[in-house]
Structures are given as C-alpha cells and as structure tokens.
Structure 1
Amino acid sequence: MIQEQTLLKVIDNSGAKIAKCIKVLNGSKKIYAKIGDLIIVVIKNSNINSKIKKGQIVKAIIVRTKFPFKRNDGTSLSFSDNAIILLNNQNQMIGTRVFGVLAREIKSFYFNKIFSLSNELV
C-alpha cells in the first residue's frame, strides 16, 4: 500500500531514480494506492542529463509494492520494493524501456504499452 510521503523507485529510462508520492488519484478520500493505481509524485533524485529534473511533479503508475495483494484465484503476491513508471499528462510513458518484473494486473488497467515493454511478468 502506497500513501503520501512514500519513497518509490522509478524503473523506466526517463532519468529519474527516486520519487516521493504526494497525492493518490481516483477518489477524493482515497488514502492508499495499490498496483495499477495512478499517483502524483515529485522527483527526489535524477540523472544530470535527463529530461526529468529534480523537483518536477509528474503522474505515475504503481507497478510493484512490498505489501502483499491477493489475486482473484486466491494467491498472494509481494515484491521486494515499491516501484513506479512515470507518465505524462496524457497517461503515456515518458521513458521507452521498462526494467524489472511487472505484475500481470497492470494489463487490466488499460496500460497495454507498459505491459508489452516489460521483459518479465509475474
């Protein structure tokens, strides 16, 4: 579960490394976000020569969480870190590559491009 002030790892090649959640979208009183939810983040650490700079505010989608979540078949799944992929205002990826493992639930949230760019799925 991701909430405000949570530090997250960026797993695309946009240039950002670490981001902090500042708002959970899709509901006025929603406190926690899970895999597939949209959040607003501020960039805390980035590469020097990247188009994403420190302090910039962007949208992101959560692709991995430490908190275990249950699938419809009853199995639970958790990852070793909290990870996101950065999006622009039209909900399209800023980067062109995705590093690491993704959960299969992202496909059900209409982000098929992210799903197709990943090399491993769980």
Structure 2
Amino acid sequence: MAKRGGKRTVGVPYRFHVTPGIFMNSLVPVADNSGAKLVRVIGVVGHYSKSVHRRIPGAGVGDMVVVVVREGKPELRKQIFRAIVVRQRRPYRRPDGTWVAFEDNAVVIVTPEGDPKGSEIHGPVAMEATLRWPTIANLASIVV
C-alpha cells in the first residue's frame, strides 16, 4: 500500500547527494550576523535516525539542522533554532566530478520557513546550499 501524504519539505525539494560532514553534537561556528557565534547541532531535519541501529544523524551542505546556541548574545544563548549548513570541511563530490572541501564548517541561522535571521553571510557559501535555499543565495557574497 502506498504511503499517504508524502514528505513535506521546506526549500527546493530536489537535493544533490552530499557526503555528511556535520553530525549530532558537533560545535559549529555561525557565518551570519544574527548574534550567535557558536552552535551545537542537536538534530537533522528530515533524517530519521531510527532507520539503522546506532546510526548518528549527519548533515551535509544545504541540509537544515536543529541547533542550540552555545556562544553569542545573552538573549540567544540556550535557545533552539534551525540552521542551514553552508560550508563543511569534509570533501564531497559534485556531479561534474570535482571535489569540494572548505577550510571550516559553518551554518546560517534561519527561521523554520528557511529565511535567514541575519542580514549578511560571512565567507563563501557552497553552491549546493544556494541552489536549495534561494534566500541564502541572495545574502551570499561569494558562492563556490
């Protein structure tokens, strides 16, 4: 019997396969001016962690994650937000055969609908993230 309802996605529904580079409990710097400096990943949106025994959910470039702010403005600390992964150190392969790896990991804090909370993004942003989240592409100064 077919499943009913289907998946409800936020952003562009298609996605390139990206090797996961950020996992649960990772401390990741924030690449925007929302006021948060360092966040801890506490979940990956759209990842069902009970599929394989003891598998830790991982996120790649362009994925939405659930984060808690560890360092930043006092009113943001200990608050839970959603964020988009815009850079990862782990190399991943693009469909044209090139391999991409960034110098650091980074996320951008967003609303549950996918709109960025900050008004600018520091550093380069992966092309996969801009294709999936057009609002992030508008704020990105460098797209790699």
TM-score, scaled relative to structure 1: 0.91
2:53 aligns with none
RMSD of the alignment, in Å? 1.3
Pick the structure with greater CA Rg: 2
Task: Specify every segment of 5 or more residues in structure 1 that has no aligned partner in the other structure, as ranges.
Answer: none
Alpha-carbon contact 2:115-2:136 (below 8 Å) kept: no
Amino acid at match of 2:76: K
Q: Give the CA deviation at 1:106.
A: 1.4
Distance in 1 between the 2:93 and 2:141 partners? 23
2:89 aligns with 66
Amino acid at match of 1:116: N
2:69 aligns with 43
Matched residues, percent identical?
A: 32
2:136 aligns with one of 95, 114, 117: 114
Aligned residue pair count: 118
Distance in 2 between the 1:19 and 1:119 partners? 22
2:115 aligns with 92
Alpha-carbon contact 2:39-2:71 (below 8 Å) kept: yes
- Asked if 1:101 corresponds to 2:124, the answer is yes
2:25 aligns with 5
Q: Give the CA deviation at 1:107.
A: 2.7
1:16 aligns with 36
Amino acid at match of 1:3: F
Distance in 1 between the 2:61 and 2:67 partners? 15
Task: Specify every segment of 5 or more residues in structure 2 that has no aligned partner in the other structure, as ranges.
Answer: 1-20, 50-55
Amino acid at match of 1:119: S
CA displacement 1:61-90 (0-9 Å, x = unmatched):
000001001000111010111100001122
Q: Give the CA deviation at 1:47.
A: 3.0
CA displacement 1:29-78 (0-9 Å, x = unmatched):
27211000010000000035xxx511000000000001001000111010
1:53 aligns with 76
Q: Give the CA deviation at 1:28.
A: 1.0
Distance in 1 between the 2:127 and 2:82 partners? 21
Distance in 2 between the 1:37 and 1:71 partners? 16
